[in-house]
Amino acid sequence: MGVLLLIAGHETTANMIALGTLALLQHPEQLALLQGGDDPKVVAGAVEELLRYLNITHSGRRRVALTDIEIAGQVIRAGEGLILANDIANRDPGVFPAPTSWTSRATPAATWRSASACTSASASRWPGWSCRSCTAPSTGASPPWPWRRSWTGSRSSTTARCTASTSCPSPGDLRTRAPLRCSRAAERRAAAGRARARAGRRGERVLIGIAGCPGAGKSTLAGRLATELTAAGLPAVWVPMDGFHLADVALERLGRLRRKGAIDTFDGHGYLALLRRLRHETGTIVYAPSFDRDLEQPIAGAIAVPPEARVVVSEGNYLLSGEEPWPEVRAAMTEVWYADLDDRVRLERLTKRHVRFGKTPEQAVRWVAEVDEPNAAAIRATRASADLHVDIDALALSP
So where are the chain's domains? 2-182, 185-395
User: Residue 133: pLDDT band by 50, 70, 90 thresholds?
Assistant: very low
- pLDDT tens track for 57-110: 655 566 777 778 887 778 888 777 777 666 666 777 767 767 777 765 544 433
Cα 188 to chain centroid distance, Å, stands at 10
Cis, bond preceding 325 (omega within 30 deg of 0): yes
- pLDDT tens track for 97-124: 677 777 655 444 333 333 333 343 334 3
Enter the pTM of the model.
Answer: 0.56
Rounded (10°) angle between helices 40-54 and 28-35: 150
**What is the SS3 assignment for 303?**
strand
Classify domain 185-395 at the CATH superfamily level: P-loop containing nucleotide triphosphate hydrolases (3.40.50.300)
Give the CB-side neighbour count of residue 13, counting CA atoms within 13 A.
Answer: 15
pLDDT at 215: 94
- pLDDT tens track for 285-341: 999 999 998 888 999 999 999 999 999 999 999 999 999 999 999 999 999 999 999
Reference 112, options 36, 56, 150; nearest CA is 56
Average pLDDT, the chain: 74
- pLDDT tens track for 29-46: 777 777 766 666 667 777
pLDDT at 61: 62
- pLDDT tens track for 347-384: 999 999 999 999 999 999 999 999 999 999 999 999 99
pLDDT at 175: 26
pLDDT at 30: 77
User: Residue 24: pLDDT band by 50, 70, 90 thresholds?
Assistant: confident
pLDDT at 307: 96
- Count of helices and strands (H, E) across the chain: 17, 12
pLDDT at 230: 94
Strands (E), 239-383: 286-292, 297-305, 311-315, 335-340
Are 212 and 317 in contact by the 8 Å Cβ rule? The answer is yes
- pLDDT tens track for 151-191: 333 333 332 333 333 333 332 322 222 322 334 555 556 66
**What is the SS3 assignment for 202?**
coil
